Structure 1
Amino acid sequence: MEHVFFCTGHELKIPNIIKSEGLYIYDEQGKSYMDMESGVWCTSLGHNNTEINGIIKNQIDSLTHAGFCYSNEILEKSAKLILNTAGFKNGKSVFLCSGSEAIEISSQMAKHLTEKRVSMTLHDSYLGAYSSIVDKSKNWHLLNWERCKSCPNIEKCDQSCEVLQKIPKDISEFIFEPGSSSGFVRFPPKALISNIAKIVRNNGGKIVANEVTTGIGRTGKWFGYQHYDIDPDFIAVGKGIGNGYPVSIALINKSAARELDRKPFHYSQSHQNDPLGASVVYGVIQYIEEKNLISKAESSGLLLHKQLEALVDKKIITEVRGRGLMLTVDIKNEEITKFLYNKLIERGYIVGNRGSSLRIDPPLIISETEIDRFIDALQEAKSCIKLIT
């Protein structure tokens, strides 16, 4: 592909996929690959899902794009459905295009309401497509929780902790990514997050749950923050909510929505609240509910986690972390990781290569048979390593 500029930092391994279905993609020679990464963690219901495709086709025949002075009823139907799913009854939604955008508008609404200027997140968070979205300027407080991992008192964590005492009082919002940690799948302690949220709230700040990666069933619950004792003011949703279609949503709880009514916030974007994206969101939520995929993601995740744990030998595979169908396998070094990654692709299995880790985020529809097949392939790839130095 001479005229396409690839700048993701990842090597293009299979340049011409011509067919897809469920967990599988097919190249021009007919070779199949099990996509254990769900594209870029987006195809939560599998590639080429016929029910979602049908919804898209129906909406195309009605209205795909809306102007500033006209819309379509699917916006209200979809907004009510996802707000109720999130427990934000009587809140409001803004439909956008990317997760980065949903996080950005949530952050800006929080600043608008609190009239504070300093944002806070954990040091290993990923909040947007541009690295400049989080910098070390005076407008950001990055809370380093590395010490908390080995803290013997973490379960009894209270606000006297030195890490917590360093939180500035002028925080506008705490943006919490509940477990992805820039793709390395690390789960901050529950007590730590609860205390951070209390401190920020007591100082007049807002809580934003970044659910772009961890939401829509990925962790075995509708949203990753539901594993923690917090109630966010805003939720940024993306990736899996579109099943490959580029749509995202900023969810606003009832209280913050009323504040915005009293203190209007202005934001314009060409594809804000487009009917086509809203129709996809509506279809994805209905599909997940009808197929009971949240509980399936939890049970499938436990099975996959258990089978991956059985491969830990401390020589090649050193650790497995996961929650639901969001897992990572730590490898001894980057060279071995690359070897396993390439061997899996040769055998028709796609995972994420994160340097010294393999990231695994299969579609929520994965079956036990497919889990077994993947584990067998990983075991075979692992057995090809002759020498560990």
Structure 2
Amino acid sequence: MIIPFYTPFEKYLEKSEDCYLYDTEGKKYIDFESGVWCANLGHNHPKINHVIKNQLKKSIHQGYLFRNRQAENLSEKIAQKTELKNGKSVFLSSGSEAVNLAITLAKQITGRDKILTTDISYLSAYGDGQNSQKNNNLIVIPFNNSYAIQNIDFSQIAALVIETGGASLGIIKFPDFQFIQKLEKQAKQNGVIVIANEVTTGMGRTGKWFGFQHYNVLPDMVTTGKALGNGYPVSAVSVSKEIAKEFDDAPFCYAQSHQNDPLGCAVALEVFRIMEEENHVEKGALTGVFFKKELEKVAKNHSGTIKEIRARGMMLALESQKEINSEKIHSQLFDNGFVTGNKFNTLRFMPPLTLPQKDVNQLIKSIKETLQLLK
């Protein structure tokens, strides 16, 4: 039996393919969650599977005494896409690992303990980034509240962790441009290391390669995961040339078993190659615009039920009015063959970037029918 940390529906998954999931009874579902927001290129991608099979024949895992071409090539690719020129990366397994390591590095460099973020952020399932009353070093300020910035003692803060799309809390909200600009400026003026947490918002999810690129800021570190491996567990901490030099001058030891594994790095390299060659960031952005417009049409005709539509790229939310039970809508959509997210009266849509517009139309039709049942 499985420890019930979350509650699934009473269906067993049999197969995943592109944007579609199939249960053991043969029923087809359109996946508007990309797994756990990982499969930006769709599930079971044949080109990625081919790379996995080839790499399996060579090397899956390595120790600490050899260099790794896959890791080095991937580091160069991430430096290019994040604009961290001549930066360096290390590769791990999960987003939580990456965020916690980035925070640890910031503490090591600055000699400070506090971490600053906003109340729409979810940094980590554990450790220094965990949202917990026991995490006394985490300072959380209200989302988009510029006045709160004035009351921060930046001299105690090691890192500002920016998350530019609050998905993990289920609400999907996007910070204002001026808020992020002001926060980043104050942080850098006070010697605080700026970390862009791109575990969820990276790899084309928001219509750009990385979410921070909507804000004209350049972080000192970038953490990636989830879609970096398109479902395969690989994550990264990428740092600027200046941060990397700090560890040349004062070496820091960090070692875990699955660090820079060639299989995960080979997968991530293929993900980048496919996304570049097939223009999935641009295609996903266009589908996102279409999707948002269709949701706004529904909201206009159901203002008594729908409070707000929020969207950026392929990261969309439909928030219901407070008196509406969105769990009923969520459950009905699942019964109708649509996998969506739901939390705090907000339906969440984060489908693969490969999603055809016809599948958006099917979902919109099902939402309309479901809303009619609520009347």
Normalising by the residue count of structure 1, what TM-score does the alignment of the two structures yield?
A: 0.91
Match of 1:40 among 36, 42, 67: 36
- The reply on whether 1:128 has 2:113 as its aligned counterpart is no
Match of 1:50 among 26, 46, 49: 46
The structural deviation recorded for 1:326 is: 0.3
1:163-242 paired onto structure 2 within 5 Å: 163-168=148-153, 169-180=155-166, 182-242=169-229
8 Å CA contact retained: 1:113, 1:263: no
Aligned to 1:354: 343
Query: What is the CA–CA distance in structure 2 between the aligned matches of 1:280 and 1:14, rounded to whole Å?
Result: 32
Moved over 6 A (4+): none
Query: What is the CA–CA distance in structure 2 between the aligned matches of 1:113 and 1:204, rounded to whole Å?
Result: 10
- 2:209 is matched by which residue type in structure 1? W
- 1:304 is matched by which residue type in structure 2? F
Q: Deviations over 1:45-80 (max 9, x none)?
A: 101111111111111110000111124321111221
- 2:110 is matched by which residue type in structure 1? T
What SS class does the counterpart of residue 384 from structure 1 fall into? helix
1:71-86 paired onto structure 2 within 5 Å: 71-86=67-82
What SS class does the counterpart of residue 311 from structure 1 fall into? helix
Aligned to 2:5: 7
8 Å CA contact retained: 1:36, 1:349: yes
What SS class does the counterpart of residue 125 from structure 1 fall into? coil
Q: Deviations over 1:258-314 (max 9, x none)?
A: 122112121111101111110111010101001101111111111000000111122
| Residues 1:131 and 1:261: Cα distance change in structure 2 (over 3 Å) | closer
Query: What is the CA–CA distance in structure 2 between the aligned matches of 1:315 and 1:204, rounded to whole Å?
Result: 48
Query: What is the CA–CA distance in structure 1 between the aligned matches of 2:255 and 2:192, rounded to whole Å?
Result: 25
| Residues 1:369 and 1:229: Cα distance change in structure 2 (over 3 Å) | same
1:259-270 paired onto structure 2 within 5 Å: 259-270=246-257
Query: What is the CA–CA distance in structure 2 between the aligned matches of 1:323 and 1:316, rounded to whole Å?
Result: 22
RMSD: 1.6
Structure 2: 5+ residue stretches without partners = none
- 2:202 is matched by which residue type in structure 1? G
Aligned to 1:153: none
8 Å CA contact retained: 1:318, 1:332: yes
Aligned to 1:258: 245
Q: Deviations over 1:80-126 (max 9, x none)?
A: 11221211231111100110111111111111111111110012210
Query: What is the CA–CA distance in structure 1 between the aligned matches of 2:226 and 2:157, rounded to whole Å?
Result: 28
Aligned to 1:331: 320
- The reply on whether 1:282 has 2:279 as its aligned counterpart is no
Query: What is the CA–CA distance in structure 2 between the aligned matches of 1:351 and 1:140, rounded to whole Å?
Result: 31
Aligned to 1:94: 90
Aligned to 1:154: none
8 Å CA contact retained: 1:334, 1:355: no
Q: Deviations over 1:111-156 (max 9, x none)?
A: 111111111001221011138724455523211236x3xxxxxxxx
Tell me the percent identity.
Answer: 38
- 1:5 is matched by which residue type in structure 2? I
- The reply on whether 1:145 has 2:143 as its aligned counterpart is yes
Query: What is the CA–CA distance in structure 2 between the aligned matches of 1:205 and 1:189, rounded to whole Å?
Result: 21
Query: What is the CA–CA distance in structure 2 between the aligned matches of 1:19 and 1:351, rounded to whole Å?
Result: 17
- 2:190 is matched by which residue type in structure 1? N
Match of 2:285 among 298, 305, 309: 298
8 Å CA contact retained: 1:194, 1:230: yes
Query: What is the CA–CA distance in structure 1 between the aligned matches of 2:11 and 2:68, rounded to whole Å?
Result: 38
- The reply on whether 1:344 has 2:329 as its aligned counterpart is no
Query: What is the CA–CA distance in structure 2 between the aligned matches of 1:60 and 1:334, rounded to whole Å?
Result: 53
Query: What is the CA–CA distance in structure 2 between the aligned matches of 1:28 and 1:140, rounded to whole Å?
Result: 43
- 1:66 is matched by which residue type in structure 2? Q
8 Å CA contact retained: 1:331, 1:357: yes
Structure 1: 5+ residue stretches without partners = 149-160
- 1:144 is matched by which residue type in structure 2? P
Query: What is the CA–CA distance in structure 2 between the aligned matches of 1:14 and 1:218, rounded to whole Å?
Result: 29
Query: What is the CA–CA distance in structure 1 between the aligned matches of 2:298 and 2:11, rounded to whole Å?
Result: 31
- 2:137 is matched by which residue type in structure 1? N
Q: Which moved more, 1:213-222 or 1:310-319?
A: 310-319
